[in-house]
Structure 1
Amino acid sequence: MTMRPRTTPARTTPSARNASAPARQAAAAFGLNPAPLDAAPVPAPGDALTTHLDHARVALLTGPSGCGKSRLLAGILQHTHRRTRVVDPALLPLHACAFDAIDAQPRRTLDALAAAGLAEPSLWLLPAGTLSVGERARLALARAIAHARPGDLIVCDEFASNLDRASAESLARTASRWARRAGVTLLAAGAHEDLPALLAPDLLIDARTAQPAAPPAPRTPNLSIEPGTFADYHALSHHHYLGSRPATVRRILRCVRRTPHAEWLAGVLVVSAPTLNASWRRQAWPGRYDRGPKYERARRLNTELACISRVIVEPRSRGLGIATQLVRAHLADPITPATEAVAMMGALSPFFARAGMTEYRLPTPAHDARLRDALAHARVRLTDLPASTTDPFIAHELARWARHARVRIDHPHPLPHLARHAVCRLAARPRAYASTRGDPDEPAQSNE
């Protein structure tokens, strides 16, 4: 009896439309019949999953690599009724500076950069392609923050997959916190087993079954606040927008972040002696520090008042609330009855207010007011300033503003860079803060 070879029907599998003939022949040798990729149906999410997703603020699609997360995510995107935005660092315009990559109005851009953990002016003028992997991930998130509306579905495939886990934790907490405050749904997908604990999702979806699973307890960062040294400040000083050394230092606190495998300096707070004159103190402590002979005012200031002059958090640890914790630690045991602080980006990163300090608006500096008047006279919007530097009048006023604001850009053609810097400064809305513990003639009270 003649034995015939047993044949197996060829299986159809999706493939790229431009697969070459040798590639198709190789697949056919293993019983595969390639079909165009766009012919493969994308699975639709079940009604139960859609309902759960509509009520979630943070959702995580998880499972091992190759289990179908991306296809299920594509199905959700294809069948959703909601407005969607995709967060993907690969979509960033790499030749544009980080500030321009957001592609929004200056004030909205600054708000988005701060919310994403990029409130570091030294990064704003750098090309997006020169940023680190973690910074690009935050920049992609900032683009979504700037353009998102309540009810949107924000999709992040391979969330934090190429970040070290310390950076992944801070990015996860930043994204999760923003989604809950903004009223959007953040849908992340990833294979790392620590993502459920880092994101603390309302909805956890197992991609293998497309069914909700019980989310684990969120992970709490291991942070400790302790006395620091000037070496701690020096180690992080390059991350602060003020390059100069702070005034007479009276106290330094540091935050140490620990994981099972390492520990490192995550943040630092510097307390300095106060300046003699500050007009906004009349709002916080009426008549306390603006009357009497100069020597008497100086003595009272140095005895009763200290200034928080620097609060710096290293990039991998932004979004964990370290700045707020450092300020609270100082206010809980201050070295003087009264404490003050001035923050150029106080309206963007209001951690002083979150820590319990009372906020005060600062008067507009004369050089900022003059530049605003010059723009109004030339009928140039603040958003159009970087494109208007060829105008001799604008160039003259911008150079004058830079001298009085003590801004210097080391570049062969500094005017466009100065213009972007001016846009950031004029839109930043600086704030002053005050807090009191004790009773030096009833000065300003804390918000706590």
Structure 2
Amino acid sequence: MRITVSHPLRPRRRSLNTARVAASFGLDVDPTDRLTVAENLPVEAGPGRITLFTGPSGSGKSTLLRAAADRLEADGRPVVRADDLALPDRPLADALPLGFDAACALLSKCGLAEPRLLLRTPAELSEGQRFRFRLALAVCLARLSDEPGAVVCDEFAAVLDRTLAAAVAHNVRRLCAATGVGFLLATTHEDLAADLAPHHAVRCRSAGPPRSDAAEFEEHERPLAGRRRLGPLFADDDLDGRISFAGDLFLTTASRGDWPAFADWHYRAHTVGIVRFGVMLWHGSQPGVRNASDESPHEAEPVGIALFCSPPLSLRGRNQYFGSGARWTSAGLKAMNAQLVTLARVVLHPTYRGCSLAAPFVAAACDACPFPWVESLTQLGQTHPFLERAGFVKAPVDPPAKRGSRPNDLRQHSAIYGAGGRGKKKGTLSAASHAKSRYAAPAYFIRDNRSAPAVLEANRRDRRRQELEACDD
């Protein structure tokens, strides 16, 4: 089967607060706007097969699990959803519709071999014990159908300790082989794959589309290949008080081609202009470097991106901050392009937000950026101080009021973004951009980046080149 899953961005229930969020960030404009989880993803599932969906929380594995289960049901296959089963009010010894010996054997394979537990009702069990009973009940019901069915279980073994989880996973593999029952499982714990030995696996990622082992990948097997390493996000002496995996975060260069993997998490346009410099944030093990928070290194994944683009011709906030005009000479434009870039895109995967990483990431990205000045124009900066914590200065921007203009007038609002102004030849925002931003009131931020290590290094190279040229003369 092939699965395509996407969600509309508009909320199911509208309120004043959801309207405020959507209007401020341009999320409630086009009813066709959707967040795509997977497109034409090959998934192999059915009786006698274990299909495993893994990945971090929020990466889409539960959504894909439900979609695969719905597809099996649509094809007429029996499906038992373990998470939705009602728990009977009777002792476990009487709770399965099987003979006593068969029921005890099945409960044992699901980690309920202790005789004293057989005397208890599900309501008397712990959460982990109830999970194991639901699994046994689901397998039992799938076996009793006219043809072997499929058991669907989200957050598989998430409430179990790792040793017990491995034991249950091992026995699920044996049950699949012995009974012909299929299993569709989703979990964040990728260590279970060794004991489950799934027939088919789908790996959901923090950024980018999910990977199916039934697909032929065009992307490179080594995602870090060809990237320049920029070092760890935090120095060893700066890890105290940080989140436990802070030592496993590192930086590389990024390019415009990396943006699509993060575009769905950005609240504005999914396109990006001319990229002058880019930085990617990774979580995982670097080649030849041991993980700081895990004895067993895991594959590095991109979890954040910062893209520095060519600056727009004119920004009202820039003009106010530098005291410059909106008119430029060719020499002035050349100088601006050499001295200034716009931090146009900053995205952290939602899992990593709220971990005090945004400001250090932006600061590190700017330190690696070889331009003396970095500016940004963002709505998010009005409510979150991460740019100021990264060394930016905030300069509020108010477009000039014009007589006879309506609130959020296209030309008036375009002045914030460097468009509009007097004269018909002056451009304005596109209709799509204006629709998404007409209720936004972004702030202008500027960072004096002249003391950044990358800028100092670039200056040293320029001086050295000039000295060599002088010697040649």
TM bin (shorter chain):
0.3 to 0.5
Could you state the TM-score of these two structures normalised by the residue count of structure 2?
0.38
